[in-house]
Structure 1
Amino acid sequence: MRHVRIAPLPDGYGYNLDPQPYRDALPGLLDALPPGARRFAADPGHYDFTGPRCVKDLTLARSTLTDSEGTLTLDLAFAPNEWKHPDALHLRYADVRAFRPDADEPDGLLPRLGALQLDELLPHRTGVSHELAFVCGTLTVHAADLTAAWH
């Protein structure tokens, strides 16, 4: 990620997460983001680690890529963390140009990607670049825009 900082703790149990550089840069990025990505990135609860609308600790439950009428649509469904989120998060990406999962080798104890740590939305020549960093990997999506819904 360009602005969000994620670094393993020295003892290997957890991560130091710092979204502040991204939050500082965000006002200068908002006008270049498409409307749905702009709303999602600018949501005041997006990086509030104790809030119910923070992406931290969600888990990927399902991804569906649909090729219809000349465009690709990607749906990502995230399951809530039972101690933090009352609702699940659903992201729908329109006119997807790239979708890349990168998963580390699992130890067999956790889901392959693990819990979402943080994400970063940046302007991209196709509309938006969305990088999602998990405990054991990343997802990167380039699309025209996205819609986010908590339910």
Structure 2
Amino acid sequence: MLMRYARVEPLADHYGFALDPQPYLEALAGLAGDLPPGAREWAGDSAHYDFSSVRCVKDLTVGRIGLVDEGPRLVVEIDLRPNEWKHDEGLLLRYSDVRNLRVDTDEGDGTEPRLGSLQLDEALPHPAGVAHEIAFTNGSVLVVAADLTARWHQV
């Protein structure tokens, strides 16, 4: 994981992760003003890192990652499926004017989706707009774009 502030570290027994969004939330106070509007709204959502909230990102899984060529700009959409025990909606992340999309995966054990379940994410200012990294149990996704929007939706 390349995340600068949020902590996602495998437990010694390899059955889970130690998660700590607090260093990112503390840094966000100084970073938010440099994020584009959509990314700033997404990162500052109070339910985002509240593990007891149905709007927390933890445990979502990738349903689809789509790339759309809109002429001079690329758009990436990541549709995240809800965890049946935690969420009542899925989450659609849409990135505008994408400059970089990177997906890194580990070998899965075949019992869960290849990337696994979402653990934490962080959106950081980038010269192109925003760098958004999403850490999963079996890999990560990094998108660098002009901005992002996040919308919860029924699946």
How high is the TM-score relative to the length of structure 1? Answer: 0.98
Name the CA distance, whole Å, in 2 between partners of 1:113 and 1:24.
28
Encode CA deviations 1:105-140: one digit per residue, 9 max, x unaligned.
122222110000000000001000000000000000
Encode CA deviations 1:80-112: one digit per residue, 9 max, x unaligned.
011111111001000000000000112222211
Number of residues of Structure 1 aligned to a counterpart in Structure 2: 151
**Structure 2: runs of 5 or more not aligned:** none
Give the deviation of 1:44 after TM superposition.
0.3
Runs of 4+ in 1 over 4 A off after TM superposition: none
**Structure 1: runs of 5 or more not aligned:** none
User: 2:37 is matched with which residue?
Assistant: 35
Q: Secondary structure at the match of 1:57?
A: coil
Give the deviation of 1:64 after TM superposition.
0.6
User: 2:27 is matched with which residue?
Assistant: 25
Q: CA RMSD in A?
A: 0.7
Correspondence 1:78 to 2:80: yes
User: 1:9 is matched with which residue?
Assistant: 11
Superposition pairs of residues 56-75 of structure 1, within 5 angstroms: 56-75=58-77
Name the CA distance, whole Å, in 1 between partners of 2:111 and 2:60.
17
Percent identical: 58
Name the CA distance, whole Å, in 2 between partners of 1:146 and 1:123.
12
Give the deviation of 1:38 after TM superposition.
0.2
How high is the TM-score relative to the length of structure 2? Answer: 0.96
Q: More displaced, 5-14 or 124-133?
A: 5-14
